[in-house]
Structures are given as C-alpha cells and as structure tokens.
Amino acid sequence: MSQTEITVLDKGFVRLVDAMGSDLSVVNAARVSFGKRKETFEEGDKKLIKYLATHEHTSPFRHAYVQFHVKAPIFVFRQWMKHQVGCSWNEISGRYVEFADEEYFVPATFRQQAKVNKQGSEGEIEEGNREAAMKAYLDACRESVAQYKKMLELGVCREQARCVLPLGLYSEVYWTTSLQAVAHFIRLRSESHAQWEIQEYAHAVRSLIEDRFSASLSALLDSDVG
C-alpha cells in the first residue's frame, strides 16, 4: 500500500488526499492527436513521455492532478504560494478559528547567514550562542501567542488579533495542482539553495507521488520544463 502521509519538521505534515490520472493519462492525452488510446502503460511509452518533456510539449502533463493537505509554518507557505500557475489553494482562516497555544515551529538548530548567498544560510551558529538564541526565539513566540489570547479575551476580533502572531505559526492548506506544476515546485524547492525547511516539504511531496507518476515525474524533473 502506498504511503499517503509524511511528517515534516516538528509538527507539520504532507498528506496525499486525492489523485487523478497516471503516466498512462499523459500518454493518452498525447496520443489523442492521432485518434489513438491505450489501456495499459508499456515500456515504450516512457520514451514518448521523455520526448514530451524534453521538447516542452507540456499540455499532456496537465491532464493529471494531485491534491494535498499540508500543515506547515507560515514562512514556508509564503514561499510555496508563489507557485500559482496550475495550482489552487485554500487555507485555514484565522478569521474563523482560534489558533492553539503551541502551534508554532521550533527549529532543532539555528543556522548562520550565508557569506556568499545573501538570502541563504549555512552551518550552525556558534555553540555558545545556541541556548540564548533558542530562548529568544521561544520567548518571542510565546509572548506573541499570549498577547493574541489576551486580545481575544478583551473582545478583539480574531481577524485583528491574529496580526501579532509569528511567521513560525503553523497553518494548514489544501493544495491541488497539475502534474506539471507539482514537478516545477519539486525541482525548484528541492534545490540546494532553497530554504532547508521548504526542501523538506518538497521531498515529502515527491515521495508521495513518485510511484504513481514515476515516468512523468522523472522526465519533467530531468528536463528544464516548468
């Protein structure tokens, strides 16, 4: 039985909710141009899929879709939601629900600012600073949540009180995406220069779908299509 959920970071997850299509769907979408259809996927069809990806004939890859339920920190979704083409998003709303006390991401380590890549990070901070950094981080998160709760108790509406919550707060989304779009996400966010936390989500997404779309995903990731 294929895996349908993977735990990511300390409290997050990626869950495969639904999927439409397979490698055969891609093949049949391409072959309809010649009035042909196949009932089984054969070894030779991998060559067709590779040809489609290599030569940027991408429309057949948009006939297969996957839907995920994802729990991730808001700062991860800030990057993830830049992927809009071929995607649909629905997120839990702080206007409707009250966020729990301990629903923020706590990193296992703190990284240094990269010396070459201005937006990236590398290695751990100095050992003597790690305890103080963790204390500062947790104090800030706990205080933000405490003030959020206090504002709610004072009668402030949820849609305003949520403004003080940290970017490390976990949120949840349903993400539905075409096969082409999910491959584009995996390729960009698995890359070594992507933030480590979103790399972990990209690896999880790939693990959940690569059995179902093995030929198509491999072809798309090996090409520059996206």
Q: CA 61 to CA 36: how far, in whole Å?
A: 17
State both tokens at 140.
Answer: 């800030």
117 or 53, greater pLDDT: 53
Which residues does the annotation mark as catalytic? 189
Give the pLDDT confidence score for residue 115 in this predicted structure: 86
93-100, long-range: CB < 8 A, 24+ apart: 94/158, 94/159, 94/162, 94/165, 95/158, 95/159, 95/162, 96/158, 97/158, 98/152, 98/158, 99/145, 99/148, 99/162, 99/165, 99/169
User: What are the pLDDT digits (tens) for 135-169?
Assistant: 999 999 999 999 999 999 999 999 999 999 999 99
> Beta-carbon neighbour count of residue 52 at 10 Å?
23
In degrees and rounded to multiples of 5, residue 192 shows phi and psi of -60, -25
In the structure, what pLDDT confidence band is assigned to residue 34 with cuts at 50, 70 and 90? confident
Handedness of CA 187, 17, 30, 210 (dihedral sign): positive
Q: Which residues fall within 8 angstroms of residue 20, CB to CB, at 6 or more apart?
A: 64, 65, 66
> What are the pLDDT digits (tens) for 9-31?
999 999 999 999 999 999 999 99
Q: Residue ranges of the domains in the chain?
A: 5-94+172-222, 111-164
Question: In this prediction, what percent of the chain has a pLDDT beyond 70?
Answer: 98
Instruction: Convert the pLDDT of each residue in 197-224 to its tens digit.
Output: 999 999 999 999 999 999 999 999 997 6
The confidence score (pLDDT) of residue 202 equals: 98
> Whole-prediction pTM value?
0.94
Name every residue whose Cβ is closer than 8 Å to that of residue 171 and which is 6 or more positions away in sequence: 71, 72, 73, 74, 77, 91, 92
What's the token pair of residue 184? 């584009």
Mean pLDDT of the chain: 95
Which pLDDT does position 225 carry in this prediction?
59
Q: What pLDDT was estimated at residue 120?
A: 86
Integer Cα distance of 2 and 18 in angstroms: 13
| Fold held by 5-94+172-222 | Gyrase A; domain 2 (3.30.1360)
Lowest pLDDT segment from 13-22, 79-88, 119-128: 119-128
pLDDT at residue number 116: 83
pLDDT digits (tens, 9 = 90+) for 164-192: 999 999 999 999 999 999 999 999 999 99
**Which one is predicted more confidently, 225 or 156?**
156
DSSP E strands, 21-166: 65-73, 87-91, 111-113, 121-124
CB 120 within 8 A of CB 197: no
Q: Coil, strand or helix: which one is 11?
A: coil
